[in-house]
Structure 1
Amino acid sequence: MTGFDFSGKVVLVTGGTKGIGAGIAQAFAEAGATVYVCGRTPPTSAPRPAPRFIAADVRDIDAIDALLARIERETGRLDIVINNAGGAPFALAAEASPRFTEAVIRLNLLAPLQLAQRANALMQRQCDGGVLLFIGSVSGLRASPGTAAYGAAKAGLLNAVRSLAVEWAPKVRVCAVSPSLVETEAATSGHTGPANNDTQATSLASIEATIPAGRLAQPADIASACLFLASPHAAYASGSNLILEGGGEVPAFLAATGLHQAFAANADAPARE
């Protein structure tokens, strides 16, 4: 991750102990930042340079307050927050219990908004303000069957980003990064079922075949986007949503007719001189 220098900056990544969050935390640490990560359980392994772990459930307001107070006490500031913690298991909307739906909305919408509110209060007191980033999802921009509450929460989050960018300007910039499926253990198992023999690999290959880029997103792809948006290179970006979907999805009518295979054939053909 060359070209970015976050020396002297203090960064918090929620859900930063694994998957996308761990990739983001590592990228900022390698760029020189002092990085804190939070989660309900400590990481099983720590990269080098290792971020500082604080046990906290982002759904607990008291835990959020204690988390931010500790960071301010130890460093005196907070420059960048990446609201990454989130997710939801597959559940058909007709069968989801009220408790399940409420839990999904709380984790993916209410918790990041409450953390952002408190982080903003700290950043507004700083001469150079700060940056708030939210990890959204393409599920908030299209149909999200099997994860309807999750998609609705992410859609709400993306709308909130635009509102917060207006309310908290000019000191605090607010942006979102919305990836499609990212190749992490939690995400891919939810789309391919339990891994056994070659079943999961076959399922992932089928998913990749629907993506123009020919592959799933990697945590490093999301981390690179966060580095850019949090940097001075994106100083005029606020209220923005950077969509990372590798070219999007093949339209259903093309997949149904098989015409999408022509694009794949063109991509594999040698370039003409």
Structure 2
Amino acid sequence: MELDGKVAVVTGGTRGVGAGIARAFVRAGAEVVVCARRPPEAPLPGTEFVPLDVRDTDAVGRLFAGLPRLDVLVNNAGGAPHRLLTEAGADRHARVVELNLLAPLAVSLAAYDRLRRAGGSIVMIGSVSGGRPSPGTAAYGAAKAGLESLARSMAVEWAPDIRVNTLVVGMVRTELSHLHYGDQDGIDAVARTVPLGRFAQPSDVGAAAVFLASDAAAYISGASLLVHGGGERPAFLDAATADHTPVAGQGELT
């Protein structure tokens, strides 16, 4: 899964998951451009930083017009505050959809010509929130569901020149985890709900992104790769009071 000599752009690549992806691409031999509204707090060796708000379509166009080559685009920029639907007006929720769905579309369109010439690929960073109820982040979940659908359509429209895939990411341990899950005890308690017993690290997501961008995935397009540690343990299993000891002669549940 080497990316020697390839040029990759990672949006939102200065911290958290984005920084983990950028580091993984550097380790795989790629030349990496990271863009975000603010520079990284700590240096990301092997990367070039370009200030960018992905919602500014003119600035996005200038970024890609200035690149001599592009092999991989990782649409990672996104996120949302915890906000119940009734706690904000429609315009606030629309801004969440803009950042997490419309901006990746605009960035992909701006990158299209260079990716087509290189026979490149796009990796969308989706979320498990797009496939389950997301109380408190409903607009974000809806946008991520749309992003996954968008990627599948792009994969068909832009084939065979550009491959497009989605990483459907679960909970990731980053410098901002405490804002979502509380103190260390809260983080540990939430981690125990994951079958693999821990949050993902940004490097886990980075390794998966490198795979989808590499020649090892040359025949993979329109796919959604789950990076969630096995998903979530069904709540009913912990709530049930039934004795699950097998009884001779009883049929199995199907």
Deviations 1:2-37 (A, max 9, x none): xx3211100000000000000111111121111000
Instruction: Report if the CA contact (8 A) 1:108-1:154 is conserved.
Output: yes
- The one-letter amino acid paired with 2:180 is H
Counterpart residue number, 2:187: 204
- Which of residues 124, 127, 149 in structure 2 aligns to 1:134? 124
Alignment partner for residue 243 of structure 1, among 215, 226, 230?
Answer: 226
Conserved in 2, the CA contact under 8 Å of 1:90 and 1:190?
A: no
**Aligned counterpart, 2:168:** 178
Cross-structure match for 2:248: none
1:203 is paired with a residue whose SS is helix
Query: 1:29-66 CA distances to partner (integer Å, 9 max, x unpaired)?
Result: 12111100001111111133x30000010000011011
Cα offset for 1:258? 7.1
Deviations 1:146-191 (A, max 9, x none): 10000000000000111000000001000000111110122x2232
Listed as ranges, the gaps of 5+ residues in structure 2 are: 246-254
Q: How far apart, CA to CA, are the structure 2 residues paired with 1:164 and 1:138?
A: 20
Task: Give me the CA root mean square deviation.
Answer: 1.4
Percentage identity across aligned positions?
50
Q: Cα distance, 1:99 vs. partner?
A: 2.2
In structure 1, what is the equivalent of residue 141 of structure 2? Answer: 151
Provide the C-alpha distance between the structure 1 equivalents of 2:73 and 2:99, rounded to a whole number of angstroms.
16
User: What residue in structure 2 maps to residue 268 of structure 1?
Assistant: none
Deviations 1:200-230 (A, max 9, x none): 1110111011111000011011001001000
Aligned to 1:35, the other structure's residue is in SS state strand
> So what's the TM-score if we normalise by structure 1?
0.86
Question: TM-score scaled by structure 2?
Answer: 0.92
Establish whether residue 34 from structure 1 lines up as the match of residue 31 from structure 2.
yes
Q: Which of structures 1 and 2 has the larger relative contact order (alpha carbons within 8 angstroms, sep 6+)?
A: 2
**Structure 2 Cα separation of the partners of residues 190 and 103 of structure 1:** 20
Distance, in Å, in 2 between the alignment partners of 1:163 and 1:97 is 30
- Alignment correspondent of 1:271: none
**1:53-202 maps to which residues of 2 (within 5 A)?**
53-70=49-66, 72=67, 76-124=68-116, 126=117, 128-186=118-176, 188-193=177-182, 200-202=183-185
Counterpart Cα distance in 1 of 2:241 and 2:145:
31
Equivalent residues of 1:17, 1:38 under 8 A apart = yes
- What do residues 110-150 of structure 1 show as CA deviations (whole Å, max 9, x unaligned)? 000110112112222x1x41101100000001111110000
- Structure 1's consecutive aligned runs of 4 or more residues displaced over 6 angstroms after TM superposition are none
Give the paired residue count. 243
- Local SS of the residue matching 2:85: coil
Matches of 1:183 and 1:97, distance apart in 2: 30
Name structure 1 gaps, 5 residues minimum.
Answer: 194-199, 263-273
Paired residues for 1:222-261 under 5 Å: 222-257=205-240
